[in-house]
Amino acid sequence: MKIRELMIPDPITITKDASIQDAISLMKTNSIRHLPVVSRTKALVGFVTLADLKQGLIPSMMGDLSLPDLMITDPITVDPDDDIEIAAQRIYKNKIGGMPVVKGGKLVGIITESDILRAFIHMMGLLTASSRIDVAMDDAPGRFREALDIIHDAGGDIISVGMGVQQKGKKTYYFRLSPCKTAPIRTALEAKGFSVLAATD
């Protein structure tokens, strides 16, 4: 999935000659927490957050601060044709809530952690009726493939697979299935030496 499929296109923006009060008012009115700062030709020149603006509000009233003083002048960005995983990694690693989407130096959108979460929920099928079975297994060659075959042969229709952090030499896989009875699948997996941690019809 590409970022352009999830980003907010043509986001609300502000220019750097606007006041901090104007920026806060714009964000509150539109219920947003991130605001790209652009030139008159839509070139990205900075990025501000509501939290940063609130911290600078009082000093700005005393004439000590302006919007350019608070904005991030070299913000982390992504390209609209990057994979969604790139945006997720940058948001997670840099502990940010969102970032501008830029093409050729021009702002074309914005993507936030909420957009990433929405994509994850969609890809994992979390809002659809489903069953789930959690299986711990070692990294022996072919073991994951074997689990897939067992689940399929026992009547499980796999919607998605999630993977947990490896612990004690084993990884936990979360198999989300179309609604079904998981008891036969659990029995078949355990008969082949797999550890079934949980199963939900």
142-161 tens-digit pLDDT: 999 999 999 999 999 998 89
Q: How confident is the model at residue 124 (pLDDT cuts 50, 70, 90)?
A: confident
Domain boundaries, the chain: 3-120, 127-200
Q: Which pLDDT belongs to residue 44?
A: 95
The residue ranges of DSSP E strands in 62-201, in sequence order, are 98-103, 106-112, 131-137, 158-163, 171-177, 195-200
8 A C-beta contact, residue 176 and residue 159: yes
**Does the pLDDT of residue 190 top 80, yes or no?**
yes
**Does the pLDDT of residue 169 top 80, yes or no?**
no
Q: How confident is the model at residue 118 (pLDDT cuts 50, 70, 90)?
A: confident
9-20 tens-digit pLDDT: 989 999 999 988
Q: Which pLDDT belongs to residue 122?
A: 79
Multiple choice CATH, 127-200, 2.30.30.140, 3.40.50.300, 3.30.70.260, 2.60.120.260: 3.30.70.260
**Does the pLDDT of residue 170 top 80, yes or no?**
yes
**Does the pLDDT of residue 86 top 90, yes or no?**
yes
Q: Which pLDDT belongs to residue 59?
A: 66
- Rounded Cα gap, residues 153 and 179, in angstroms: 15
pTM of full prediction above 0.85: no
The residue ranges of DSSP E strands in 10-137, in sequence order, are 34-38, 44-49, 98-103, 106-112, 131-137
8 A C-beta contact, residue 116 and residue 88: yes
8 A C-beta contact, residue 137 and residue 149: no
Superfamily of domain 3-120: CBS-domain (3.10.580.10)
Query: In CATH terms, are 3-120 and 127-200 the same topology?
Result: no
Task: State what percent of residues in the chain have pLDDT above 90.
Answer: 68
Determine the longest span between alpha carbons in the chain, in angstroms. Answer: 74
Q: Which pLDDT belongs to residue 62?
A: 59
User: Residues 115-121: what's their mean pLDDT?
Assistant: 87
